[in-house]
Amino acid sequence: MSIIPLAKRQALVRQELDSSHVDGFLLPRGDEFLGEYVAPYAERLAWLTGFTGSAGMAILLRDKAAVFSDGRYTSQLRDQVDSAQWSLLHLIKEPPATWLAENAQGLRIGYDPKLVGEAQLNALTSSGHEFVPLERNPIDAVWVDQPASPETEMRYQDEAFSGEGSLSKRRKIGGALRKAGQEAMLVCDPTSLAWLLNIRGDDVPHTPVILAFGILHHDASLEVFIDITRVSPDAAISFRNVSVLPPHELPDRLAALSGQVVRFDPAQTGLWFIQKLSDAGATLVRGADLCALPRACKNPVEQEGARKVHLTDSASLCRFLRFVSDNGTGLRETELAEILDGYRGAAPDYHGESFPAISAVGPNAALPHYRALPGADRVLEPNQVYLIDSGGQYDAGTTDVTRTLWNGPDSPPDEICEAFTRVLKGNIALARARFPEGTTGHRLDSLARYALWQAGLDYDHGTGHGIGSYLSVHEGPQNISSVARPIALEAGMILSDEPGYYLPGAYGIRLENLLLVKPATIESRTPFLEFEVLGYAPFDRTLIMASLLEPDELRWLNAYHQDTFTRIGPLLDHKDRSWLAQACAPIVH
C-alpha cells in the first residue's frame, strides 16, 4: 500500500499539472510498451484511482475527473473507485472523446507521449481542446514510493522449444524490410523482441517477457536497449550480431536513423518515438510489426510443444474438476483458483498462470472477465453454476481453457441446460470447421453463435484470440470475432474457441478449447484448412441436453470424450482416472 492515501493523490497530481502549465492529464492504463499486462512500476492508473482492471483510462481536470473502462469491469470499477472523486464511465457507451468535448472546451490536456499511441490520441483529438506532450509524467513525479523498473535476468528459449535460431529469424525479417525498401524497424512489442531473440523473462506478470526496445536493421543486425547485466550467459547465444546498449542511449540511436526509412507499428509504438524520429529527419513508414505474423504461425517444433504441454495441462485440469465434484462445496472462488494452480505447479516446466484465473460462482460467472478478490469472493454452494477459465505458462507453450460446471446435488434447471448445450454446439461447430485458405476469423465467428442465435441468445465478446508459444495468452494478429479484421487464418496459428452465454445476476456459461490451424485432410481443387483441438477435459454431462445435439455433433462429442480418456487417463491416479471414465462415458439421445 502506498504511503500516500488514495484520497489525497488527485490533489498532488493537480499541483504537478499546475507546474507543467496544463489544465488536465490523460492517463491510459498501459505502459511504455502499450501492453495488456504491466509491471508494478507502471500501475499508474491503479495508483491514482484504485482501479486494477487491465483496460481503462483516467482523465483528470482541475475540477473534474473521470475513469473509463469497458463492460468487463463495470462491477470492479464501482467497487474500487471512489465515485465522490471520480465519474465512473463506460469506455464504449460513454467514451472519453465525448466526455472531453463536454468538459474540456478550451483546455490544455497534458499526456505522457511514451504511454500514448498515435491512434489513441487521434481518436480523442478535437477542436475543443489541445493535447500537450509532457516531458515528465506527473504521476511519477508525486508517486514517492513507486516501485523500481524490473531487473529480472533473461532466459534463453532453447531451439528445442523455439524451433529456429534468432539469427535465422532476423535474417528473414531483415529480408522483408529490404524487399519493402525500408532500412530499419522499431521493435516496441516485448513479445516480438522475445520471439526474435529467443529469450524469455519475468518483467511483467503472466507474460514471460523482458521489457526492452529494439531497432532491427535490414542487414539482420539488432540494437537492444537493456542493461547488459540482464543478459544471462545462456541467452548470450542468441546475441550474435546484436548490440546491447543501455536504455539511456535510445534517443541517440533514434537520431542516428536520420535520412533512413524506418518502419513502425502505430498500434504498438508510443508517440515519443514518432516525435524523435521526425525530429531526426527519418522517413516514417506505418505498417504492421513484421514479427507478428511469423510469431503467430507456429513452426513444427512449437506445434509439437503445444500438443505436449496441453497433455500436462489437461491432466491438471481433470484432477481439479474431479476435486471440485467431490470437495468443492464450501470453498471460496479464490481458494478454488489456488487449488488449480497447485495442480499445475506440480509440473516441473510450469512457470505460472498465463492470466489471473477467472474462478466464478453463480452470478459472478455472468461477468466474462470477473476477477475474484480475497475477502470479496463467493463461496461455491450446492446447486450453482461454477465457471473456471484459466491457463498456464510452460517451457514449450501457453494454455487457456474454460469449463462450466453444475455443482449439484439437484439436477440443473432446463433453462441452464439448454443455454449450456447451445454454447457447446457453437464450440463444436467451430472446432469442426473446414475453410479455404485466405479465410479470416470474422467469417467463422457466426458458426460459434448460430445455435445461440436460433434461441435469441448471444454473447458480447470475441469468440477466439491468438495464443503465443510460451508468450502472451492474447496474441495477435489473428482472432475470431464479429469485428472484421483483414488477417487470414494460416496453418500453425493457435486460437481459442470460447463461445458463451451470460444471464446477468444469475449465471454465466463459457466453454473453451484451443485450436491449431492445419491443412485440411480432404481433397479439394484449392487448399483448405481445418482445426486440431488442443487440450482434453470433459464437458459437464449433467448440463448437456442431448436432445438438442444433432447426430454428427453427438458423434464428435463422444469421440472427443473418448480421446480425452485415452490421452489423459494414463496420466492420472486410480481415483481421478475412475472419475474421468465416468465423465467421458458415451452420451446417447
CATH architecture observed for domain 6-142? 3-Layer(aba) Sandwich (3.40)
Burial class (CB in 10 A: 0-12, 13-18, 19+), 185: buried
What pLDDT, on the 0 to 100 scale, is given for residue 1? 56
- Is there a shared CATH topology between the 6-142 domain and the 297-583 domain? no
What pLDDT, on the 0 to 100 scale, is given for residue 22? 96
Superfamily of domain 297-583: Creatinase/methionine aminopeptidase superfamily (3.90.230.10)
Q: Grid coordinates standing for 286?
A: 506505418
- Asked if the bond preceding 247 is cis, omega within 30° of 0, the reply is no
Q: Identify the CA nearest to 286 among candidates 414, 428, 117, 439.
A: 117
Q: Which residues contact residue 136 at a Cβ distance below 8 angstroms, ignoring those fewer than 6 apart?
A: 20
CATH topology for 155-295 is Creatine Amidinohydrolase; Chain A, domain 1 (3.40.350)
The dihedral built from the CA positions of residue 562, 566, 567 and 571, taken in this order, carries a sign that is positive
What pLDDT, on the 0 to 100 scale, is given for residue 357? 97
* Domain layout of the chain by residue ranges: 6-142, 155-295, 297-583
β pairing state of 434-436 and 528-534: antiparallel
Q: What is the pLDDT of residues 108-117, one digit of tens each?
A: 999 999 999 9
**HSE-up of residue 165 (Cα within 13 Å, Cβ side):** 10
CA dist 325 → 234, 361, 448, 545 (Å): 44, 14, 28, 20
CB 3, CB 144: distance < 8 Å: yes
pLDDT values of the chain reduced to their tens digit, one per residue, 589 residues: 578 999 999 999 999 999 999 999 999 998 999 988 899 999 999 999 999 888 899 999 999 999 998 866 777 788 899 999 999 999 888 899 999 999 999 999 999 999 999 988 988 887 789 999 999 999 999 999 999 999 899 999 999 999 999 999 999 999 999 999 999 999 999 999 999 999 999 999 999 999 999 999 999 999 999 999 999 999 998 998 899 999 999 999 999 999 999 999 998 999 999 999 999 999 999 999 999 999 999 999 999 999 999 999 999 999 999 999 999 999 999 999 999 999 999 999 999 999 999 999 999 999 888 889 899 899 999 999 999 999 999 999 999 999 999 999 999 999 999 999 999 999 999 999 999 999 999 999 999 999 999 999 999 899 999 999 999 999 999 999 998 899 999 999 999 999 999 999 999 999 999 999 999 999 889 999 999 999 999 999 999 999 999 999 999 999 999 999 999 999 999 999 999 999 999 999 8
CA angle 88, 90, 92 (to 5 degrees): 155
